[in-house]
Amino acid sequence: MHHPDNPFEVHRPAHLGRRGFLLGTGVLVTTGLIAPQPRAAIAGESSGTPYWRPTVHFTPQRNWMNDPNGMVYFRGEYHLFFQHNPYDDQWGNMSWGHAVSHDLLHWEELPVALEPDELGTIFSGSAVVDHDNTSGLFDAEPGLVAIYTSAGETQQQSIAYSADRGRTWTKYSGNPVIENPGVADFRDPKVFWHDETQRWVMSLAEGDRIGFYASPDLLNWQRLSEFGADQGAHGGVWECPDLFRLPVEGHPGRSKWVLIVSINPGGPAGGSGTQYFLGEFDGTRFHNDGDSDEVRWIDQGADFYAAVTWSNIPEADGRRLWLGWMSNWRYASDVPTSPWRGSMSVPRELLLIETDTDLRLAQRPVAELERVRRRPRRWSGAVSDAPEYRGSELDMTAEFQLAGASATSFGLEVFTGSDQVTRVGYDVTARQLFVDRAASGATVSDGFPARHSVEHIPNDGVVRMRILLDRCCVEVFGDRGQVVLTDLVFPQPRGNRVRPFAENGEVTLNSWELYELDAH
């Protein structure tokens, strides 16, 4: 959970009215909730920028959103909480917004779940199912426990619990459960049950390190260790950690522990970014398998941050699912959407893939996305002969034959209009997959128009891309999801042409599949 300037500043817009009052400490305490508006009304909105509201990416009905929080699956519902300002489209009054889904694509936004109190505003955190009532907070059936950062004069860790499927929450009377030890940036608890030691384990961002804690009951915590000194990237503060075990695809019985760490600034495309480490966790310490100075980025685009995974996914499902905030702290406050500001990525499955040289974390859009694909179109042949299509909500796959290509770069031009284009392509000379939004439409900030790229050397002479387009969202997955680029663009509404391109030569499209996405 990043704070733009002052972590304890509370913004009170003029239209707040009687929904809240200010305490002497500068903490906003709310006395009511914003009633949710039906999704049908949002889908038909006429004011603001409805042409930029995505259809398969979650957005709040209105106002500010950043980090995903408290992601947990419980009794048939995926819960997505999120950093939210219920009263304004700028960062402030941090609360937990709340939405639920049965399929990861269609979301119902519920009333605000957690609001500021005497300990401060509500920063990022996680949620778990207390199956065995280790906390003693539930009378009969298992309930949900949220672990979050209270951001007041200092940042401390608190909990809240729900016995009604997350619809109402009670804050624990003994909060905070972890007091601040004198660290300015002390936040974003991510908790899971560690089977081997039969206790809860927490990953916590502490400056530019990750602290690990353990508890038998979610209430009483002991500090175990820390990780991060001289490890990975340190261009900014570390945030939103996540620690989990992931099996190696195609190798039954083999697995590694994955530690996710978001960082701001210092990301690969400037500003926010998300790095990861592979290694072992013995219940007390995390040991990095890689070189200490090695930096592994999970996404080379500008707009994928604070990603964390869902807890309590059923064993029968077996997937490790996550999503991230599609924005960047360099310009998040200037994103030109209205009446909302902030979008999540499409939910993705995480996989650990063995390459010729090492293990690599890969991402793929969830399979549920295929349920809303409509009107398939397929084409193959020389790019110079390729047709042009229209669409701003598309799921596409393209395979280009690198062997024999004379073009210096090739790919697909999307969101194309008279004076705008976004290019998703491959640079043959640099051997890089890229997204070029230099002329993509609205310019959000000075650093927004740019080309973002990642090294990609196909081992079979075929460049494969999967490209998701959703009005203002571009997500590109290459090489079985081992290279990923996530970027926002803001094209004019009529700029929706899609066509292949090749520069300074020719290339063959072995296959091009295009589906319209219809999640209505």
Q: What residues act catalytically?
A: 67
Beta-bridge partners for 170: 161
* Alpha carbons 223 and 181: distance in angstroms, whole number: 11
Give the DSSP letter of residue 347. Answer: P
- Residue linked to tokens 């006395």: 31
* Alpha carbons 8 and 16: distance in angstroms, whole number: 19
- DSSP reduced 3-state for 144: strand
In the chain, the N- to C-terminal Cα span, in Å, equals 31
Q: Which residues contact 195 (CB under 8 A, 6 or more apart)?
A: none
* Alpha carbons 150 and 119: distance in angstroms, whole number: 6
- DSSP string over 161-225: EESSTTSS-EE-TT--SB---S-SSEEEEEEEEETTTTEEEEEEEETTEEEEEEESSSSS-EEEE
* Alpha carbons 63 and 45: distance in angstroms, whole number: 14
* Alpha carbons 74 and 66: distance in angstroms, whole number: 23
> What's the distance, CA 216 to chain centroid?
29
What backbone torsions phi and psi does residue 316 show, to the nearest 5 degrees?
Answer: -65, -30
CA distances to 324, 351, 352, 376 from 250, in Å: 26, 10, 9, 30
- DSSP reduced 3-state for 37: coil
Bridge-based pairing state of the strands 320-325 and 348-354: antiparallel
- Residue linked to tokens 């003029």: 14
- DSSP reduced 3-state for 17: helix
Residue 251 host element (H or E):
none
CA distances to 234, 238, 468 from 453, in Å: 21, 23, 17
Give the DSSP letter of residue 287. Answer: E
